[in-house]
Structure formats: structure tokens, C-alpha cells
């Protein structure tokens, strides 16, 4: 939760549309339910500090799974970060016994259509 503002910033900079479930309380509940399905990619910046450059959330209800809010900062896209995040969350979902994963892409998010 210490990185809440950064997570929101990455999502917005990447062009995602957020909803009320992305509130501080909404993400806190998500982290309490599935902490291992909320993944961030970090890189060290020029000052030696960590910087969140990508995020993905997975959700699993025991029957099927969803991928939510996969985003990579625009200046870090095209380097495989999104692919690595997606593969990792998929592996974690499959390890839970999930056989079907779905995702939702906003119709205006053209870069996401190209990615998927």
C-alpha cells in the first residue's frame, strides 16, 4: 500500500481507465485476498532508487480467472516487461488450478489490442 500513488500514476500514464474499485480501500482488499496475484516490475533508476515500471493484477474465483490492469510505463514499453508480467501471473493462476483466463480491454486502448 506504500506504493499506491505510484501504482495509480503508472496506470494513468499507461492510459488505463480506472474505476472506484481502484480506490485505496479497493486495492487494499485485493492485496488482502490475492497478494501473490498483484505483481509489479521494478527497475533501478539513475539515482539508484527502485522505480515501478509495470503492473498486473490477476483474480481467481476458483473457477475462472481474470487479468486486470496490465500496464507498463510508455517509455519502458517494447522491452518485454508486459510479456514477463503476463506470463508470471498466468503461471501463478495455473498453479492454483485455473484452466481459463479472461481479460477485458477498453475499446479505446488500441495499444493493448496490439499487445494481446
What's this model's pTM, rounded to 2 decimal places?
A: 0.91
Question: What average pLDDT does range 48-53 have in this prediction?
Answer: 93
According to DSSP, residue 108 is labeled T
Could you tell me what percent of the chain has a pLDDT over 70?
A: 100
Q: How far apart, in whole angstroms, are the C-alpha atoms of residue 68 and residue 48? A: 30
The span from the CA of 28 to the CA of 25, in Å, is 5
Rounded distance between C-alpha atoms, residue 8 and residue 115, angstroms: 21
Q: Where are the domains of the chain?
A: 4-115
How far is residue 71 CA from its own chain's centroid?
Answer: 6
What's the rounded mean pLDDT across residues 25-47? 94
Per residue in 56-106, pLDDT tens?
999 999 989 999 999 999 999 999 999 999 999 999 999 999 999 998 888
One of 1.10.3210.10, 1.10.1670.40, 3.40.50.2000, 3.40.630.30 is the CATH number of 4-115, namely 3.40.630.30
Residue 24 has pLDDT above 90, yes or no: yes
Q: Is 21 helix (H, G, I), strand (E, B) or coil?
A: helix
Amino acid at each position: 500500500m506504500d506504493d499506491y500513488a505510484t501504482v495509480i500514476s503508472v496506470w494513468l500514464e499507461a492510459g488505463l481507465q480506472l474505476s472506484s474499485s481502484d480506490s485505496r480501500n479497493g486495492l487494499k482488499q485485493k492485496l488482502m485476498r490475492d497478494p501473490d496475484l498483484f505483481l509489479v516490475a521494478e527497475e533501478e533508476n539513475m539515482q539508484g532508487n527502485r522505480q515501478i515500471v509495470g503492473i498486473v493484477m490477476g483474480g481467481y474465483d476458483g473457477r475462472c480467472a481474470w487479468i486486470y490492469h496490465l500496464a507498463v510505463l510508455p517509455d519502458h514499453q517494447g522491452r518485454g516487461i508486459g510479456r514477463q508480467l503476463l506470463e508470471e501471473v498466468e503461471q501463478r493462476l495455473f498453479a492454483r488450478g485455473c484452466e481459463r483466463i479472461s481479460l477485458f480491454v477498453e475499446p479505446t486502448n488500441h495499444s493493448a489490442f496490439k499487445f494481446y
